[in-house]
Structure 1
Amino acid sequence: MDFKLSPEVETIRRQVREFVAEHLLPLEGSAGFCDEHENISEPVLAILRAKAKAAGLWAFQMPVARGGRGLDHIGMAAVYEEAARSPFGPVVFNAAPPDDGNMQVLNKVLTSEALKDRWLQPLIDGKVRSAFAMTEPQGCGSDPSLTYTRAERVGDNWRITGRKWFITGAEGAQTFILIARTSDDERRGLTAFLFDADQPGWRIERRIPIMGPEEHGGHCELVFDGLEIPDEQRLLNVGDGLKLTQIRLGPARLTHCMRWLGLSKRCLEIAGAYITERESFGMKLSEHEGVQWMLGGAAMDIHIGRLLTMNAAWKLDQGDFARKEVSMAKVHVADTLHKAADTAIQLLGARGYSKDTLVEWVYRYARQARLVDGASEIHKMVLSRSYLAEGQEFFRWG
């Protein structure tokens, strides 16, 4: 098996690493860098995005013809990991959720260049942001079939009534992908739509407070009380809503893993630099056997996560849905992110628990990883079903 990156991908990876080191790491923790939600502030983001565009480090996942770099999933895995050496890197390069996943699915399912010009290009250009409205109170989360928000056909329009919540990036988003129920059919009862924030008949009820740092736009509760969406803004066919979620969520879960691996490596980078300088009981911390076990175990888990992620990325590039491979990566890397941050805090001691380093930020952020885009327990259920159905073929090579 050859894990060597192509010359093009290796060049981009190095350029991203150098950009993060030069333009992002020195700013972390500086006055005015973060907003009240502990994300990069909008004025600083605008400056850094302009620099990233000028350097040609923009929208790695999008076609070259539309201003991106046209990377496949293997290329994305290598580059996204470097971008997330700073947690603020992905949004600087226009590779952060939810826009990242929304751009990828719109590029796949929009049926004409005119529709892509209208709905996709502004996202690629970074002129607007987006949200994916699926999760509901007392309804769908890991199980999309529990969707109660309804879309009723009224002439050439669809009238939407219901609620969504924990919709990432909703505050300030202009473009929304909405999943709503159009029938009671078990497999084909959901349909996907596009709508613009300026359309009437919906509102943001609240921005839901969470325990960790937030993406831009937060995690919001939305109310739909008569939003009318023209049928021309429907995605795929009526009843293909579940299909669209599957097209979007598999690759999106894997890009989470790519970014989380970058954050995991950064935690060890910070801790590793500290333990090679800090002395305890007459020797460097790095010379203590117990410290070596902790650091080595976390490093091993990160590398396992990288192999799982690259394997899933390779299968996606072969045209496979890679469902079990993505699930395995998602479960393992989510656990690894938490372990890396926790290990780093333990090695850093009080310094790690303080806000003097980025590690405490990552620790609070990491807890969501085992929940978002399918709880770990759900992915293990998927893996169990695959194993019971496939038997020893579950472990086949290739």
Structure 2
Amino acid sequence: MDFSISPDLAALRDRIETFVEAHILPVEADRSAWDAHDNIAEEPLQALRAKARAEGLWCPQVSPENGGLGIGKIGMAVTYETMNRSIFGPVVFNAAAPDDGNMMVLEALGTEAQRERWLAPIVRGEVRSAFAMTEPAPGGGSDPGMMRTTATRDGDAYVIRGRKWFITGAGAAEHFILMARTSDDPRRGLTAFLHHRDDPGWEIVRRIPIMGPEEHGGHCEIVYDGLRIPAENVLLEEGRGLKVTQTRLGPARLTHCMRWLGLAKRCIEIARDYAARREGFGVRLADRESVQVMLGDLAMQVEVGRLLVMKAAWEIDRGGYAQKEVSMAKIHVANLLHKAADTAIQINGARGYSTDTVLEWIYRYARQARLVDGADEVHKMVINRHLADQGTGFYRWETAP
């Protein structure tokens, strides 16, 4: 593949980089602009979002006809990495999870009426959304076939009963994509539904406390007890829930990696800056071979991650599914983020462990990276399944037509 990017994409990346430096990093540095859950508070967020929209930096992942920039997955790889130089970057540009993945799946699979009703308000930044799939044991987690939440047809509606948990953003969401079982068919047993926060028959029973900083709306446990969803709110069609999850989760996993690369680079930036200034026993940290090895290794691992992400993005942009490529990127970049934060804290010493930098924020956040959207072990199983199916073809380069 050609690793060069177009002048237009380079210009967009540079504009985002300038915006992050000039507008977002100063807000990040002001702890009074943070909310109680270590995220950006609503007032400064809305002010920054208005500026981003005014500068034409809004929703790069969505097509122009639906209100975005339509830059494709390769373009997203370039710009998302740049956005997440700040811990608050992606949400400012309306490119943060879970809205990011929900917008992409609604654009890809929603009817025209569904896109107008459920997608457009998210794109405009008027509402937030959530994807309600994961369930407490013995329900569905990484294996959606274990799903126990049911949707029973009753006239022109479906009645939903069940429990979900760790639903990201649910506490602040108005629009929900809900996965439920409509039959016992192993391939066609799940269905995706759209519902609104104000619909009766469901409730958030708790916002689950977590180790790390939280997305807006937290990670919630939900009980569905008779929620009625009109048949017109089925996404795609009854029994095609697995298709919906595949359409959403593959690109969403990859966009996580894009953003995590930006955070990993920020860790290196903070570590290099401190190492250049800090002396011990008459020698700058930056001049110590041990520190140079640590930073050089991180720089190499970031570049490996970028190549994995870019290959997966290229494959998706040309019409492929990139399942094994996304799994490889997800494993590598999730572990890289944790290592980058840990190494940067070590180089910064007590300063890194304090809240004087965002390293401790990134460190707490990084631990969940190896769990969300499939644990490392699940993705290694996926890679092995492709290896078993393809044999030596697993490694074959594609031949140009």
TM-score normalised according to structure 1 size: 0.99
Structure 1 gaps, min length 5: none
Give the distance between the partners of 1:215 and 1:313, measured in 2 at CA: 25
Give the distance between the partners of 1:172 and 1:118, measured in 2 at CA: 18
Which residue identity does 1:122 align to in structure 2? P
Residue aligned with 2:143, SS: coil
Give the distance between the partners of 1:347 and 1:303, measured in 2 at CA: 21
1:111, distance to aligned residue in structure 2 (A): 2.0
Give the distance between the partners of 1:232 and 1:31, measured in 2 at CA: 45
The aligned counterpart of 1:122 is 121
Give the distance between the partners of 1:344 and 1:208, measured in 2 at CA: 29
2:306 is aligned with 1:330: no
Residue aligned with 1:383, SS: helix
Deviations 1:2-46 (A, max 9, x none): 211111111110000000000011222314211000000001101
2:368 is aligned with 1:372: no
Give the distance between the partners of 2:353 and 2:44, measured in 1 at CA: 26
The aligned counterpart of 1:314 is 314
The answer to whether the 8 A contact 2:27-2:33 is kept is yes
Give the distance between the partners of 2:172 and 2:30, measured in 1 at CA: 25
2:26 is aligned with 1:22: no
Deviations 1:173-224 (A, max 9, x none): 1100000000111111100000011110000000000000000000000000
Residue aligned with 1:394, SS: helix
The aligned counterpart of 2:170 is 170
Deviations 1:294-332 (A, max 9, x none): 111111111100000000000000100000000000000
Residue aligned with 2:339, SS: helix
Give the distance between the partners of 1:7 and 1:29, measured in 2 at CA: 32
Give the distance between the partners of 1:354 and 1:172, measured in 2 at CA: 29
Which residue identity does 2:87 align to in structure 1? P
The answer to whether the 8 A contact 2:263-2:337 is kept is yes
Give the distance between the partners of 1:66 and 1:317, measured in 2 at CA: 18
1:164, distance to aligned residue in structure 2 (A): 0.3
Kindly report which structure 2 residues correspond to 1:1-398, keeping only aligned pairs within 5 A, or say none: 1-112=1-112, 114-138=113-137, 139-398=139-398
Which residue identity does 1:91 align to in structure 2? V
Residue aligned with 1:27, SS: helix
Give the distance between the partners of 2:129 and 2:258, measured in 1 at CA: 21
Q: Percent identity of the aligned residues?
A: 62
The answer to whether the 8 A contact 2:276-2:284 is kept is yes
Which residue identity does 2:38 align to in structure 1? E
User: Higher mean Cα deviation, 220-229 or 137-146?
Assistant: 137-146
Deviations 1:57-86 (A, max 9, x none): 000001112221111000000000000000
Which aligned segments of 4 or more residues in structure 1 are displaced greater than 2 angstroms?
A: none
Q: CA RMSD in A?
A: 0.8
Which residue identity does 2:117 align to in structure 1? R
The answer to whether the 8 A contact 2:73-2:317 is kept is yes
Residue aligned with 1:327, SS: helix
Which residue identity does 2:123 align to in structure 1? I
The answer to whether the 8 A contact 2:114-2:233 is kept is no
Give the distance between the partners of 1:40 and 1:27, measured in 2 at CA: 8
The answer to whether the 8 A contact 2:27-2:44 is kept is no
Which residue identity does 2:63 align to in structure 1? P
Number of residue pairs matched? 397
Give the distance between the partners of 1:115 and 1:388, measured in 2 at CA: 40
Which residue identity does 1:343 align to in structure 2? T
Residue aligned with 1:145, SS: helix
Deviations 1:152-179 (A, max 9, x none): 0000000000000000000121100000
Give the distance between the partners of 2:376 and 2:31, measured in 1 at CA: 37
Give the distance between the partners of 1:145 and 1:155, measured in 2 at CA: 26
Give the distance between the partners of 1:329 and 1:101, measured in 2 at CA: 17
Residue aligned with 2:27, SS: coil
Give the distance between the partners of 1:272 and 1:303, measured in 2 at CA: 17
Residue aligned with 1:268, SS: helix
Which residue identity does 1:130 align to in structure 2? S
1:281, distance to aligned residue in structure 2 (A): 1.9
Give the distance between the partners of 2:163 and 2:375, measured in 1 at CA: 21
TM-score normalised according to structure 2 size: 0.98
Give the distance between the partners of 1:58 and 1:219, measured in 2 at CA: 25
1:236, distance to aligned residue in structure 2 (A): 1.2
Which residue identity does 2:338 align to in structure 1? H
The answer to whether the 8 A contact 2:61-2:95 is kept is yes
Give the distance between the partners of 1:213 and 1:307, measured in 2 at CA: 28
Which residue identity does 1:15 align to in structure 2? R
Which residue identity does 2:287 align to in structure 1? E
